[in-house]
Chains A and B, each alone.
Chain A
Amino acid sequence: MTDVLRVENLAKSFGKTTVITDISLSVPAGSVFGFIGENGAGKTTTMKMILGLLKPDSGSVLVCGEKVRFGMTKTNRFVGYLPDVPQFYSYMRPQEYLRLCGQIAGMSTQDIARRSTELLEMVGLAKVSKKIGSFSRGMRQRLGVAQALIHSPQLLICDEPTSALDPVGRKEVLDLLHQISADTTVLFSTHVLSDVERICDRAAVLHHGTIVLDGNLADLKARHGSTGLRVEFSHPDDLARFCALIPSGLLADPTDTEITVRTTDPKADLAILHLLAEHDILPVRFEVLAPSVENLFLEAVA
């Protein structure tokens, strides 16, 4: 799989404050890449360097094999960008705004008309003809997605696209990104880990200016193994018998009939199943707990 984006040894300081110490990452074509980090970790700074809007102190960025140069925006023909709070001209209507975006991107009039119709339909703004100034935040974010995709970019970069939205708006934008990922590589920064869990297949964690975790999400989870087991019984007596068999230090989150056994031992699940069979205790649910992105993140930044 070729890399749509390759970042090598990027560093950036503002005055005496070092924001990015040294980061390298690559985003393969067709992936949905979650760029995770706390607020102020340097996600936006990294994205702006990818777009040539900020000048790196050192390192390089390649978009579709072409080197990004500060202030020159040639490589941006491959890129669509959705800022965290996209700003529009409030006196324009969505159709007018997309037309201007298309013209700036050098598209033909026919292509602009066709693409605008498609995108406004996709983001649910096809029938909206009021001026952008009266748009809600969610509508602005959806128009932001449309403007970023007007020129059919190979890479869509979204800066915290869901952080300022209510649950409905968040779901809409995540669904959109998921839909887009069928033909466009998506890189999106976030500190909302459930968003990454939901739509990303790859992720990198940015912490103290460096990448502390990077890779395919499934591989990362597999590499980190299970975090424990959740066992449910039909009767509290069964639970009490089960608890008597397990060292109490491993038990957590009990309810009347359920309990978690905290362990990272890969053979623990089979051992516990044997133990249950030996003592004639029948669980009604036996679940191996996979690590969540939250676990991975917390482990990475610990």
Chain B
Amino acid sequence: MKAFSSFLGKEFQESLRTYRALIMIAAFVALGVLSPLLAKMVPDLLNGTDMGGGAILRVPAATALDSWGQFFKNISQLGVLVLVIVDCGITGTELARGTLTNFLAKGLSRSTVIWAKFVAASVVWTLCYVLALLVTWGYTWYFWGNGPLPHAFLAFACLWVFGEFLIALLILGGIIQANIYGALLAAAAVIIVLNLVNIAPQAAKYNPITLAGGTVNLLSGQNSPGDYLPALWICLAAIVAVMAAALAVFDRKQL
């Protein structure tokens, strides 16, 4: 346990001193600000646009739901991209450079390394996600007032769980290939495959990619929790499976 807490502390120190955490925080706060601002500004910018032939574009005034729609869209695209770029080296870089050798040669267990990295990356992701959420919530309240948000916890938790899934994939990819490209490849390949699976409409309910971006429909009351729960459970199971694979692969890895 002491080794775990020490290595976890090292992970946080690394996140701060290499500015990884700061980059994530800055990007997510910016996305948190941007979401309501975009929702607010788009109708103002587009209203009155001459569409040609005398047609004038009329966009209805934005609502709080538009702000949350922008939030899910921004975090699931730009936010996830920032998460992948910042965390793609968490295992691969250490293996490629050999920085773990001194610690493994002192008795640090390989599973401790994996879990400390997962927990540290999860804490930073959670912090950034919550920050972005709070900033968007504040601006949305300021502009439109936050009305009732049905199933808010589930709606926000879905995207967070998808982020956790990506962190697990980045860890596994880095362990397998022992470089950052392995992590990027694993994340990209899985996202592409999940998007391809979503071509079949009946698969969407079970597809973890549904958790990234679509849950604003829960807030609007358009969808019910039952539309997302199967994908959520499958995503949670996938996280467990990917982490188990990362532990098994690392245990067998010759360093």
Q: A residues bordering B, Cβ < 8 Å? A: 48, 51, 53-55, 71, 73-74, 76-77, 79-81, 83, 85-89, 91-92, 96, 100-101, 103-106, 144, 147-148, 150-151
Q: How far is the CB of A91 from chain B (nearest CB, A)?
A: 4
Query: In the complex, which residues of chain B have a beta carbon less than 8 angstroms from the beta carbon of A74?
Result: 107
5 further A-B pairs in the complex, CB-CB below 8 A; given A48-B255, A106-B3: A74-B107, A81-B102, A89-B14, A104-B108, A106-B2
Instruction: Decide: B106 and A151 in contact? CB cutoff 8 A.
Output: yes
Instruction: Decide: B6 and A53 in contact? CB cutoff 8 A.
Output: no
Query: What are the 10 tightest A-B residue pairs by CB atom distance, in nearest-first order?
Result: A103-B6, A91-B17, A81-B105, A53-B255, A87-B98, A87-B99, A73-B107, A105-B106, A76-B107, A54-B254
- B18 on interface, CB distance cutoff 8 Å: yes
Nearest neighbor of A70 in chain B, beta-carbon distance: B254
Instruction: Decide: B101 and A73 in contact? CB cutoff 8 A.
Output: no
* Cβ-neighbour of B255 out of A54, A76, A106, A150 (below 8 A): A54
Bound complex: CA A101 to CA B105 (Å): 10
- B223 on interface, CB distance cutoff 8 Å: no
Query: In the complex, which residues of chain B have a beta carbon less than 8 angstroms from the beta carbon of A104?
Result: 3, 6-7, 103, 106-108
Bound complex: CA A144 to CA B102 (Å): 9
Nearest neighbor of B109 in chain A, beta-carbon distance: A73
Q: B residues bordering A, Cβ < 8 Å? A: 2-3, 6-7, 9-10, 13-14, 17-18, 97-99, 101-110, 251-252, 254-255
Query: In the complex, which residues of chain B have a beta carbon less than 8 angstroms from the beta carbon of A83?
Result: 98, 101-102
Nearest neighbor of A85 in chain B, beta-carbon distance: B98
* Cβ-neighbour of A101 out of B9, B18, B103, B251 (below 8 A): B103
Bound complex: CA A235 to CA B106 (Å): 62
Bound complex: CA A151 to CA B3 (Å): 14
Bound complex: CA A263 to CA B255 (Å): 48
Instruction: Decide: A105 and B98 in contact? CB cutoff 8 A.
Output: no
Instruction: Decide: B105 and A51 in contact? CB cutoff 8 A.
Output: yes
Total number of A-B contacts with CB less than 8 angstroms?
83
Using A73-B108, A73-B109, A74-B107 as known contacts, say yes or no to A86 and B18 having CB atoms under 8 A apart. Answer: no
Query: In the complex, which residues of chain B have a beta carbon less than 8 angstroms from the beta carbon of A151?
Result: 106
Query: In the complex, which residues of chain A have a beta carbon less than 8 angstroms from the beta carbon of B98?
Result: 83, 85, 87
Bound complex: CA A37 to CA B237 (Å): 50
Nearest neighbor of A78 in chain B, beta-carbon distance: B107
Query: In the complex, which residues of chain B have a beta carbon less than 8 angstroms from the beta carbon of A101?
Result: 102-103, 106
Bound complex: CA A100 to CA B9 (Å): 9
Instruction: Decide: A88 and B99 in contact? CB cutoff 8 A.
Output: yes
Query: In the complex, which residues of chain A have a beta carbon less than 8 angstroms from the beta carbon of B17?
Result: 91-92
Instruction: Decide: B14 and A55 in contact? CB cutoff 8 A.
Output: no
Query: In the complex, which residues of chain B have a beta carbon less than 8 angstroms from the beta carbon of A51?
Result: 104-105
24 contacts between A and B (CB under 8 A): A53-B254, A54-B254, A55-B254, A73-B105, A73-B106, A76-B107, A77-B107, A86-B102, A87-B98, A87-B99, A87-B102, A88-B102, A89-B14, A91-B13, A91-B18, A100-B6, A100-B103, A103-B6, A104-B3, A104-B7, A104-B108, A106-B107, A147-B102, A148-B102
* Cβ-neighbour of A71 out of B18, B107, B252 (below 8 A): B252
Query: In the complex, which residues of chain A have a beta carbon less than 8 angstroms from the beta carbon of B3?
Result: 103-104, 106
Instruction: Decide: B105 and A76 in contact? CB cutoff 8 A.
Output: yes
Instruction: Decide: B18 and A100 in contact? CB cutoff 8 A.
Output: no
Q: How far is the CB of B23 from chain A (nearest CB, A)?
A: 15
Query: In the complex, which residues of chain A have a beta carbon less than 8 angstroms from the beta carbon of B105?
Result: 51, 53, 73, 76, 79-81
Instruction: Decide: B13 and A81 in contact? CB cutoff 8 A.
Output: no
Q: How far is the CB of B102 from chain A (nearest CB, A)?
A: 6
Q: How far is the CB of A62 from chain B (nearest CB, A)?
A: 17
Query: In the complex, which residues of chain B have a beta carbon less than 8 angstroms from the beta carbon of A73?
Result: 104-109
Nearest neighbor of B101 in chain A, beta-carbon distance: A83
Query: In the complex, which residues of chain A have a beta carbon less than 8 angstroms from the beta carbon of B6?
Result: 100, 103-104
Bound complex: CA A246 to CA B67 (Å): 103
